[in-house]
Amino acid sequence: IQAQFNVTVRDALNQAMDEELERDERVFLLGEEVAQYDGAYKVSRGLWKKYGDKRIIDTPISEMGFAGIAVGAAMAGLRPICEFMTFNFSMQAIDQVINSAAKTCYMSAGLQAVPIVFRGPNGASAGVAAQHSQCFAAWYAHCPGLKVVSPWNSEDAKGLLKSSIRDDNPVVFLENELLYGVPFEMSEEAQSKDFTIPIGKAKVERAGSHITLVSHSRYVGHCLDAAAVLAKEGIECEVINLRTIRPMDVESIEASVMKTNHLVTVEGGWPQFGVGAEICARIMEGSAFNYLDSPVTRVTGVDIPMPYAKILEDHSLPQIKDIIFSVKKTLNV
């Protein structure tokens, strides 16, 4: 029997970067406060002490500048990890992410790879209002040339970050600030230096026969909590953790929908043109559509800039009760 370890998401990310920095000397980390301060959220704790100024680089508060430096370094043969203190600030650098990183492989007819990881916390934290609370999953997943990864637990975080660093394409790696301190069980296998999770594969976190819940990042946990409540009422939910937003694993969702005949999508981002909207369209266009016994329901953040007041913030994001309500509505219970 494999031993289980409790590891926080923060430590899993730290392990992944440590192992990849050690494995490949072309890998380096740059961003605000990543070195001497050990990271704004302590994700890079200990790395500067271990690897020094050449590999762990503190930058000025200039996202467009250091994202551009990182993209240039990737084109020149290094493998940068570019940390944004939050993805809200990546909006300052979105030209570098899309025009300089994402499009270059195609525009150079495949001659110029850009092996870079853009990582940092994405989506709503708590009490930081509209400019610091948006989810960029749909923004970046819209763009060909990028891979977009959104882990939930510690195993996801470690295995997917290692795969992202080793990938020769630009990867946008969306973490969640509220998950950093959460401990998850991690198998002995996941603790090994060879452990990776393939980009583009979803994972069934809970098997069920009545309805499929598809989610990513923090809301996978909400779905599992809702599924536990619904199970007591005799409703068995299958919960799918997307793990990757682009390329999206539509096959796994379709296979589940063909079994359960019902689908609810859950995300913290805005509804218009969101991850759930894309899943709805792909299911409608694909072979699973004829298996649906009721329309797909989306559970999303509310279509407003995030309010500052806590009570309003809670009402602006999906809660477990919202998922339970949508499941019952979809199943007509």
Q: How far apart are the first and last CA of the chain?
A: 41
Residue 58, helix vs strand vs coil:
strand
Active-site position among 63, 175, 205, 238: 63
Residue 6, helix vs strand vs coil:
strand
222 is catalytic: no
Active-site position among 33, 132, 142, 236: 132
Q: What is the DSSP letter of 248?
A: T
Q: From CA 174, how far away is CA 147, in angstroms rounded?
A: 11
Q: From CA 239, how far away is CA 24, in angstroms rounded?
A: 36
Residue 21 contacts residue 164 (beta carbons within 8 Å) = no
Element (H, E) at 205: strand 203-206
Instruction: Output b/e per residue, 222-242; b: 16+ Cβ within 10 A.
Output: bbbebbeebeeeebebbbbbb
What ranges in 233-308 are assigned the alpha helix state H?
A: 250-260, 275-285
User: How many degrees, rounded to 5, is the angle at CA 111 between CA 105 and CA 112?
Assistant: 55
Residue 55 contacts residue 18 (beta carbons within 8 Å) = no
Residue 11 contacts residue 20 (beta carbons within 8 Å) = no
Q: What is the CA radius of gyration of the chain?
A: 20
63 is catalytic: yes
Residue 230 contacts residue 327 (beta carbons within 8 Å) = yes
Instruction: Output b/e per residue, 74-88; b: 16+ Cβ within 10 A.
Output: bbeebbbbbbbbbbb
Residues with catalytic roles:
63, 132
